């Protein structure tokens, strides 16, 4: 099942400007920046409190015009694009959710931030919210 809120994803037109804004305005710390070619994003994890327990805001900028984030920005403008939950076993969680009748976007999980495994519930099956499931990489 779900363990906690992993991050809230916010679509932004300019990643560096957004990082600067979140640091100066909210005092958040940028703990990770990564480009994900498959997802068409450059993303930054902004840690909310002094530890990772406080959760993160993930800033998401588009790498190309046909990407999910570019489409979202065109349609809705900047703002919350997704809510992501940490799961211990993404395969089991996806199987359970599929059984409960919601559409998962991918047949098998794809690679997300920091070598995590990710999948999504279609927003039309979750009350208008794009729900992401994140199984973090096992830290050794
Ligand atoms: C679209 N819709 C949304 C939405 N995106 N509603 C809420 N939140 C969103 N983010 C609505 C849209 O307004 C339409 O509603 C309807 O869904 C259109 O659905 P569609 O035609 O099936 O699909 P698209 O082309 O609009 O694409 C939506 C989906 C796409 C969710 C299928 O964005 C996608 O594949 N997302 C998953 C990948 C992703 O988001 N990657 C970027 C983050 P009406 O007008 O019909 O009512 S990457 C990431 O999070 C990483 C790397 C990480 O966390 O580690």
Structure confidence at residue 32 (pLDDT):
98
Other CB atoms within a 10 A radius of the CB of residue 101 amount to 7
Domain count, the chain: 1
Residue 140 forms part of a structural domain: no
Identify the CATH number of the domain in which residue 43 sits. 3.10.180.10
Pocket probe for ligand 1: among 103, 124, 131, the residue whose CB has the most ligand atoms within 8 Å is 124
The residue assigned the tokens 């919350």 is 80
For the chain, the DSSP string reads -EEEEEEEEEE-S-HHHHHHHHHHHH--EEEEEEEETTTTEEEEEEE-SSSGGG-EEEEEEESSTTSHHHHHHHHH-SEEEEEEEEES-HHHHHHHHHHTTPPBS-SS-EE-GGG-EEEEE-GGGTTT--EEEEEPPPP-
Q: What is the ipTM of this complex?
A: 0.98
Residue 39 forms part of a structural domain: yes
Residue 28 forms part of a structural domain: yes
Residue 103 forms part of a structural domain: yes
Residue 111 forms part of a structural domain: yes
What are 110's strand-pairing partners?
A: 118
pLDDT digit string, tens, across residues 6-41: 999 999 999 999 999 999 999 999 999 999 999 999
Residue 95 forms part of a structural domain: yes
**Protein residue with least CA distance to atom 27, ligand 1:** 68
Residues within a 6 A CB radius of ligand 1: 9, 36, 39, 41, 43, 58, 60, 68-69, 71-72, 75, 81-82, 84, 105, 112-113, 116, 118, 120, 123-124, 128, 130, 132
Residue 106 forms part of a structural domain: yes
Domain that holds residue 53: 2-135
Radius of gyration of the chain (CA): 15
pLDDT digit string, tens, across residues 86-138: 999 999 999 999 999 999 999 999 999 999 999 999 999 999 999 999 999 99
């Amino acid at each position: 099942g779900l363990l906690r809120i992993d991050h809230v994803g916010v679509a932004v037109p300019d990643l560096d400007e957004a990082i600067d804004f979140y640091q100066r305005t909210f005092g958040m710390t940028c703990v990770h920046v990564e480009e994900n070619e498959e997802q068409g994003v450059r993303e930054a994890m902004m840690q909310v409190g002094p530890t990772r327990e406080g959760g993160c805001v993930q800033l998401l900028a588009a790498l190309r015009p046909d990407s999910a984030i570019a489409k979202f920005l065109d349609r809705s403008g900047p703002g919350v694009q997704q809510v992501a939950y940490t799961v211990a076993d993404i395969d089991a969680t996806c199987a359970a959710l599929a059984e409960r009748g919601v559409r998962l976007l991918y047949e098998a999980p794809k690679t997300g931030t920091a070598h995590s495994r990710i999948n999504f519930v279609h927003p039309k099956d979750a009350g208008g919210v794009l729900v992401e499931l994140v199984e973090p990489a096992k830290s050794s």
